[in-house]
Structure 1
Amino acid sequence: MNSSASYHGGYIDPNFPNPMGPNDATIIIYGYTPSLAVGVLGVILFTVASAAHLYLLIRYRTWYFTPMLVGTLMEIAGYIFRLLSSQQDPYSVPWFVVQYFSIVIAPVFFSAAIYTLVSVMINIYGKEFAPLPPKVVLGVFITCDAVATMVQIAGAALVRVAYSNQKDPTTYNHILLAGLAFQVFSFAVFLAVLTWTLVKARKSPASIDKGFIAALVVATLARLLKGLMENLSTHEAFFGCLEFAPIVVAVFLLTYWHPGRWLRFGALENRREKSEEQQDWTRTQSASKRH
């Protein structure tokens, strides 16, 4: 049970004495004492997801979807250290840094996986139905996401150091918010690109399972929600509902609606068949005109 306690602007848990080790901060940097339940749930759910994605990756040889597996592995690492913090030492700076870095960086890989899926879809539908070429989608949005995340990590680290040193963190918080704003903006632009592609692709001879498309859109929105609410984590309830839950939803949606099952088969063949039918029809018409 977490009870509020202030210590020069930082949080300490009266029920969890500070070990005062060489790697311990004077406050709990989380802003609360992490719970056992969230740590255990995170490790279990992302371990299941990781095993599933590894199996699907090998079975369907969808190597382009490897970022999804990397992201789940990073989530496992993050929640292991969060679990250690909750049970052994919530004041430990290294444990906080590892869990924060892992849990913040993991969604970058999930975003990369989503960008890759959209680039594959553009190739299936036809480049003429998308506002940007597939390689541009990958290059631009992965770069934007990586830069925004690095700025957020730098800002968050400076904020935590300022709190630990009993200094005003306002300036550093602006850096963090700037990175967050840029990330949300770039992801919103990506959402516009995805929407444009799906609307225009209705004229494409290729078809992709509508359930897969719906799952991709929901996973994308979940990732965007996580970005919007990324730093509302001064209470664990916010962390659980606005950071943990959206990522779990996105990961498990793209486990069942894995591209190896829904994107690999049917769409390309369907496009080729329709293209061949159009070519046959054109040849027939040309032959008829000659006669």
Structure 2
Amino acid sequence: MCKTRCWYLTPLVIGCFFEFIGFIGRAASGAQKTGCWTLGPYLIQTMFILLAPALFAASIYMILGRIILLVGGQEHAIIRPQWLTKIFVVGDVVCFLLLAGGSGILSSAKDNPSTTDTGNNVIIGGLVLQLLWFAIFVTVAAIFHRRMKSVPTSRSQQPDCRWQRYLLTLYVAGGLIIIRNLFRVIEYAQGNDGYLLTKEAFIYVFDALPMLAVVTWLHWMHPGEIGLLLRGQETFKNGFELIHHRPKN
């Protein structure tokens, strides 16, 4: 992000720190003796792991607007790029606040069942809203994609503008976040004694692994190239490059 000066990836980086801190809290809880668990590590892992994907989503929303500007495809977008980013990011902030508020209610609930149910319902509402928001976002991206393929702009046909690859990056990352959110909705809907919440493997398979895949995918298919092209700068290759070295005689 710093190398390409693509600051729209800042929420993604902050989300990575959230995941890191959350799983430190989970490891701290796991290291405590059975029956002697303290509230602090539990709250840390609950809040930070729950909130991180909302930050990932914010960066994904901002990337689509820049793809539209890059190819000059404003006429193909059903929402103007300058409004698209604002609308989806504001919606993502609302989801973030709902999730944070629900987590805060749970942290203060202690042994009060009614307060616990309220916290769970707020979190479920935030997750469902995030799913609906993502579904709308994917629909907007897919319509733009179809229109661009039907009537491509001159900029989109230039070899350095790999706009379909950028959209593929968003589809994969978005799909992984949707899978994670569906898992979380079902988990919280089942309650504290539900099957998913009482089996630790599920959080790693359907939450930790998809979010690791999102970060790995966005690192490999790095969207920083979009920012460079928008500023008229040269792009550089990601990954490793083999260099043939001819030994001296």
Q: TM-score, normalised by structure 2?
A: 0.75
What is the aligned residue count? 211
- How far apart are the structure 2 equivalents of 1:97 and 1:254? 28
Q: Which amino acid aligns with 2:154?
A: P
Q: What is the root-mean-square deviation of aligned Cα atoms in Å?
A: 2.4
Q: Deviations over 1:163-193 (max 9, x none)?
A: x315244444333322222111111111111
Which deviations, in whole Å up to 9, do the C-alpha atoms of 1:57-92 show, x marking residues without a partner? 222222222222111122111111111111136722
- Amino acid aligned to 1:121: I
If the length of structure 1 is used for normalisation, what is the TM-score?
0.65
Please give the alpha-carbon distance, in whole angstroms, between the structure 1 residues aligned to 2:117 and 2:21.
Answer: 30
Give the drift of 1:251: 0.9
Residue 14 of structure 1 corresponds to none
Instruction: Name the % identity.
Output: 25
> Separation in 1 of the partners of 2:146 and 2:221?
21
SS at match of 1:132: coil
For the pair 1:224 / 2:188, whether they are aligned, the reply is: no
Aligned partner of residue 204 in structure 1, secondary structure: coil
Distance 2:23 2:57 in 1: 20
Mapped to 1, the partners of 2:42 and 2:127 lie a distance apart of 20
Contact 2:105 2:118 in 1 (8 A): no
CA shift, 1:253, in A, is: 0.6
| One-letter amino acid of the structure 2 residue matched with residue 248 of structure 1 | L
Alignment match, 1:54? none
Counterpart check, 1:125 vs 2:66 = no
Residues 129-208 of structure 1 correspond to what in structure 2 (within 5 A)?
Answer: 129-159=76-106, 161-162=108-109, 164-165=110-111, 167-168=113-114, 169-202=116-149, 203-207=152-156, 208=161
Q: How much has 1:206 moved relative to structure 2?
A: 2.5
Q: Write the distance in 2 (CA, Å) between the matches of 1:226 and 1:181.
A: 12
Larger Rg: 1
Structure 1 residue ranges, 4+ long, deviating more than 4 angstroms after superposition: 159-162, 264-269
Letter in 2 for 1:173: N
Task: Give 1:200's aligned amino acid.
Answer: R
What is the aligned counterpart of 1:75 among 16, 19, 23? 19
1:206–1:268 contact (8 Å) kept in structure 2: no
Q: Which residue of 2 aligns with 1:212?
A: 166
Structure 1: 5+ residue stretches without partners = 1-56, 270-291
Distance 2:139 2:85 in 1: 15
Give 1:215 deviation, angstroms: 2.2
